[in-house]
Structure 1
Amino acid sequence: MLVVFAHSTAGPTVATLHRADGVVLQLPGYDRAYRVPHDLAHFATERAFEMSGGVFGSIAAGAVFATMRVLSGRPRHDAAARSKRVLDANKLSLNRAEVIAGMIHHAVETGVPEQAPALVRKAWGALETGELPWADDRITEAVRALSELAVDFEAAGTVRVTWPAHLIATPPPPRGIRRGRRGRT
């Protein structure tokens, strides 16, 4: 999925998402107070941590958040139901992505990238009882990726990135539909 982050005429950042199914969506940002767009932090973090159930993996799978709008293309006949299934299935992953991306965003935005591992560990501890699933080098990679994207965004006012196909969430099947052969009587 191609994602284009750009400044909008209204001020905040806008992400335009070109999904594989031909649908083009717009995701408005709410980040006027930040130098680094928050959704760009989601992109860099979710990609570095291979979070298929985060914002971008969910959108690529068919999720549409309430603030988004379709710019072009023809959504599937069951687009609303599919979106709900994907969002419901990824609720926990989306929450994790929000918190962890927020920590990476904070480290880059405030210019203290060396604090990112401690911030992520602390945030993880507030979310989960288990051990953090990412090593410090993965956290450092997320910070590096976001820092580089932020520099490009500031210089050009736009950034074009691709969401990897292997990180697209798997949509759950519709409820009530039986798959396979029926037994013969």
Structure 2
Amino acid sequence: MLITFARAAGGSTLATVRRADGVVLELPGFDRKWRVPHDLAHAATECELGMSEGVFGSIAGGGVFGNMRVVGGKPRHDAADRSRRLLAANKRPLGVAEVLAGVVHDAVEHGRPAVPPELARGSWGIFSSDPFPWSPAQLSGAVRRLAGLAAEFERSGGALEFAWPDRLTSPVPAPAAPRRGRRGRV
């Protein structure tokens, strides 16, 4: 999947997503007050941390968020149902991706070279009591990657292509089996 981030009118960003199935989608950003696009923070963070069920892994798998629109290609006949199932199954990981991308975004936006591990762990603690699954080195890698991408975005005048790895495509859950049962006799 190829994601093109570009400055849009009014200063926000627009991510154009070209999925492997030929569908082209637009994802508007609501980040005009930030130097670094928030959706770019998602891409860098989710990719570095191997998050296949975050925003971009979900999109790669067929998820379409409410603020997105199809601008090219032909979606599958069951695209809406597949998207609904995938986004419902990924609800918790999408929340985790949101808070971790926010932590990494904040570090880069404010020029801090590392994410304070306690901040990331605290964000994780909102979702789980399990041990934090990423190391400080992985978080630092996400910050470095986003910082490099942000610098490239600025140098290019507000345009950047990001190749999303196929290995981080979220699987689509199978449809629920039809309920079978005996009807009550009257």
SS of residue paired to 1:6: strand
SS of residue paired to 2:86: helix
Counterpart residue type for residue 171 of structure 1:
V
Counterpart residue type for residue 150 of structure 2:
A
1:27 Cα deviation (Å)? 0.2
Which residue of the partner structure matches residue 15 of structure 1? 15
Counterpart residue type for residue 114 of structure 2:
E
Q: How far apart are the structure 1 equivalents of 2:3 and 2:116?
A: 25
Q: How far apart are the structure 1 equivalents of 2:10 and 2:74?
A: 27
Which residue of the partner structure matches residue 76 of structure 2? 76
Cα distance per residue 1:128-182 (max 9 Å; x no partner): 21211011110000000000000011111111011100000000112237xxxxx
1:79 Cα deviation (Å)? 0.7
Q: How far apart are the structure 2 equivalents of 1:36 and 1:42?
A: 11
1:115 Cα deviation (Å)? 3.7
1:105 Cα deviation (Å)? 0.5
Q: How far apart are the structure 1 equivalents of 2:56 and 2:5?
A: 13
Kept in 2, the 8 Å contact 1:104–1:116? The answer is no
Give the stretch that moved more between structures: 123-132 or 71-80. 123-132
Kept in 2, the 8 Å contact 1:31–1:38? The answer is yes
Q: Does 1:30 align with 2:27?
A: no
Q: How far apart are the structure 2 equivalents of 1:42 and 1:19?
A: 17
Kept in 2, the 8 Å contact 1:116–1:143? The answer is no
Which residue of the partner structure matches residue 159 of structure 1? 160
Q: How far apart are the structure 2 equivalents of 1:59 and 1:164?
A: 12
Which residue of the partner structure matches residue 170 of structure 1? 171
Give the stretch that moved more between structures: 77-86 or 106-115. 106-115
Cα distance per residue 1:41-88 (max 9 Å; x no partner): 000000001000000000000000000000100000001001001000
Counterpart residue type for residue 110 of structure 1:
H
SS of residue paired to 1:114: coil
Which residue of the partner structure matches residue 121 of structure 1? 121
Q: CA RMSD in A?
A: 1.4
| Runs of 4+ with >4 A deviation | none
Counterpart residue type for residue 104 of structure 1:
V
1:23 Cα deviation (Å)? 0.3
Which residue of the partner structure matches residue 5 of structure 1? 5
Kept in 2, the 8 Å contact 1:116–1:140? The answer is no
Counterpart residue type for residue 146 of structure 2:
L
Q: How far apart are the structure 2 equivalents of 1:26 and 1:116?
A: 33
Which residue of the partner structure matches residue 106 of structure 1? 106
Kept in 1, the 8 Å contact 2:14–2:29? The answer is yes
Counterpart residue type for residue 43 of structure 2:
F
Kept in 2, the 8 Å contact 1:60–1:168? The answer is yes
CA 1:14–1:116 in structure 2 vs 1: closer, same or farther (change >3 Å)?
farther
Q: How many residues align?
A: 178
Kept in 1, the 8 Å contact 2:48–2:141? The answer is yes
| Stretches of structure 2 lacking an aligned partner (at least 5 in a row) | 179-186
Kept in 2, the 8 Å contact 1:117–1:140? The answer is no
